Amino acid sequence: MIEFRHVTKVFGRGEPTVRAVGDLSFMIPHAAFWSLMGPSGSGKSTVLHLIAGLTPPTEGVVLVDGANVATMNDSEAAALRRQRIGYLLQTFSLMPFLSVARNVGLPLLVDGVDRPETEGRVHEALATVNMSHRARHLPHHLSGGEQQRVALARALVIRPAILLADEPTGNLDRAAGRAVMDLIRQINERLNVTILLVTHDPVFAAYAARVLRLEDGHLADDADLVRLGQAENR
């Protein structure tokens, strides 16, 4: 589903340059849930941007569902993000003057989906994150955890194959963070959405089946939590 083949990303020309990712290779299979850890500046967010086609690799190949993102033009990359990739950020980025339902439906409006289908998919997405009862509320009426669940519904309304979550619990307290992570795990298990989570928190990273650790843009560690758990239970 997601594959990096010897991917390098360098920002800047001449001197100085910043090598955000260096000769990175991995493959995330369909319906997997992986997390990505590492110190600030290790290249975690750059990996997400490369997958979403927000920045092209300097070298190497980035495959998403068999398509090489590096060879896509701007409109093709934008279509990939609108139709195949859900994005969940640390900031909720909700429109304050729009209701919850209208915030969730924005990606479909941009993509020209008709009103009846949009309404049905918004209802479906809000039900998935247990926020149907807040559909008519404005964002400022919600807690931080509720706003992040709405943002998650907005990412899900396109029915993505992939969910990229960049520090989604960073602005939440522990209880709200766990609630969001529980939903992300359920989405992976019930909807077979491939998930890549970026986090600094080892507790939330452990929700995933596999944890990659980056240092200075290179893969420093690769832990299969499922196998480790099976070994400990023997």
Q: Is residue 100 part of a domain?
A: no
Q: Is residue 28 part of a domain?
A: yes
Q: Is residue 6 part of a domain?
A: yes
pLDDT tens-digit series, residues 172-215: 999 999 999 999 999 999 999 999 999 999 999 999 999 999 99
Least Cα distance to 1 among 156, 128, 188, 170 occurs for 188
How far is Cα 54 from Cα 79, in angstroms, rounded to an integer? 12
Q: Is residue 38 part of a domain?
A: yes
Of residues 229 and 128, more confidently modeled:
128
Q: Is residue 51 part of a domain?
A: yes
Structural domain span for residue 43: 1-79+197-234
Buried b (16+ CB within 10 A) or exposed e, 21-47: bbebebebeeebbbbbbbeeebbbbbb
Q: Is residue 191 part of a domain?
A: no
Buried b (16+ CB within 10 A) or exposed e, 141-150: ebeebbbbbb
Range of lowest pLDDT (41-55, 168-182, 183-197, 218-232): 218-232
Residue 234 has pLDDT above 70, yes or no: no
The pLDDT score that the predictor gives to residue 89 is 92
Q: Rg of the chain over CA atoms, in angstroms?
A: 18
Mean of the per-residue pLDDT values of the chain? 93
Buried b (16+ CB within 10 A) or exposed e, 166-188: bbbbbbbeeebbbbbbebbeebb
Q: Is residue 9 part of a domain?
A: yes
The pLDDT score that the predictor gives to residue 64 is 94
Residue 232 has pLDDT above 60, yes or no: no
Phi, psi (rounded to 5 degrees) for 169: -105, 5
The pLDDT score that the predictor gives to residue 225 is 79
How far is Cα 146 from Cα 79, in angstroms, rounded to an integer? 28
Of residues 188 and 225, more confidently modeled:
188
**What is the CATH number for 64?**
3.40.50.300
**Number of independent structural domains in the chain:** 1
CB 52 within 8 A of CB 45: no
Residue 12: half-sphere exposure toward Cβ, Cα within 13 Å: 7
Secondary structure class of 31 (helix, strand, coil): coil
Q: Is residue 203 part of a domain?
A: yes
